[in-house]
């Protein structure tokens, strides 16, 4: 189940068009309003040149946004042997027999194992209705939210329930959350998962629970 083609086309066409139009409006406003910084330089350019530059820059910015959105487009394939979650440049395969339940967590799709361990978590803008149908028709349970939601605790340094190793990983991941380093966040989530801890984020806060086994 890939991201609908019309959504991808809309992104590649819509973002550049909106970007060019928006920047053109800003440039035109700069001729009449005392905008600060770089926008003040626009008034030193001939009007046709300023408009052309604005449209080109806006279109380029729109293409960059479209590429970023496309990179996050998720394709879900469910076969008798596996659940394959793939995005441009990466893929994650989970043995189908290990998947106990699937559910959406904000803009992510999560697969849990039978002991409550997190098997996969991938960015997803696919319709929850389509996902529910795809999983349930193939015999995999679907939940509208995390079935373990009430079991999470907020992480704070020094919690006696957690060993020093887990605290070190949570502390490093908190730094990655604060700085926006998504790669570190994912890698440290995996490391915590190997210790038996499941992590979910609420903005810049980390919440955790321990899997059953």
Pairwise CA distance, residues 64 & 20, whole Å: 12
Pairwise CA distance, residues 81 & 93, whole Å: 10
Write down the domain spans for the chain: 5-71, 75-142, 149-210
Pairwise CA distance, residues 137 & 117, whole Å: 23
Pairwise CA distance, residues 4 & 11, whole Å: 11
- Residue 44 has a pLDDT of 60
* Six-digit token string for 30: 């700069």
Pairwise CA distance, residues 133 & 202, whole Å: 27
- Residue 168 has a pLDDT of 97
Indicate the SS3 state at residue 160: coil
- Residue 69 has a pLDDT of 57
Pairwise CA distance, residues 198 & 178, whole Å: 19
- Residue 91 has a pLDDT of 86
- Residue 102 has a pLDDT of 97
Q: How many CA atoms lie within 13 A of 41 on its CB side?
A: 5
* Six-digit token string for 148: 């373990």
Pairwise CA distance, residues 129 & 111, whole Å: 16
C-beta separation of 165 from 195 below 8 A: yes
Pairwise CA distance, residues 75 & 203, whole Å: 25
- Residue 106 has a pLDDT of 87
Pairwise CA distance, residues 192 & 169, whole Å: 7
CATH ID of 75-142, from 3.40.1440, 1.10.1060, 3.30.9, 2.30.29: 2.30.29
How do the pLDDT tens digits run along the chain, 213 residues long?
555 555 555 555 565 666 667 766 766 665 555 555 565 555 565 666 666 766 666 666 666 655 555 555 788 999 999 999 987 777 889 999 999 999 999 889 999 999 999 999 998 888 899 899 999 999 999 999 999 999 999 999 999 999 999 999 999 999 999 999 999 999 999 999 999 999 999 989 999 999 976
Pairwise CA distance, residues 50 & 41, whole Å: 10
- Residue 86 has a pLDDT of 86
- Residue 142 has a pLDDT of 97
- Residue 57 has a pLDDT of 67
| Closest listed residue to residue 83, CA positions, set 70, 101, 106 | 101
Pairwise CA distance, residues 39 & 141, whole Å: 54
Q: Which residues of 94-109 are buried (b: 16+ CB within 10 A; e: fewer)?
A: bebeebbbbbbeeebb
């Amino acid at each position: 189940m890939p991201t609908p083609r019309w959504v991808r086309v809309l992104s590649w066409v819509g973002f550049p068009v909106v970007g060019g139009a928006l920047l053109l409006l800003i440039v035109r406003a700069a001729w009449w309003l005392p905008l600060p910084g770089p926008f003040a330089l626009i008034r030193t350019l001939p009007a046709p040149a300023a408009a052309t530059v604005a449209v080109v820059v806006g279109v380029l910015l729109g293409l960059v946004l479209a590429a970023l959105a496309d990179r996050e487009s998720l394709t879900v394939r469910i076969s008798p042997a596996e659940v394959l979650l793939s995005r441009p440049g990466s893929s994650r395969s989970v043995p189908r027999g290990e998947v106990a339940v699937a559910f959406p967590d904000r803009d992510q799709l999560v697969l849990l194992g039978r002991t409550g361990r997190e098997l996969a978590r991938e960015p997803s803008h696919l319709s929850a209705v389509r996902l529910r149908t795809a999983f349930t028709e193939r015999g995999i349970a679907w939940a509208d939210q995390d079935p373990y939601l009430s079991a999470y605790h907020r992480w704070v340094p020094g919690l006696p329930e957690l060993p020093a190793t887990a605290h070190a990983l949570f502390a490093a991941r908190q730094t990655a959350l604060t700085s926006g380093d998504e790669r570190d966040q994912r890698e440290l989530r995996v490391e915590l998962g190997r210790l038996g801890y499941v992590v979910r984020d609420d903005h810049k806060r980390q919440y955790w629970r321990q899997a059953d086994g």
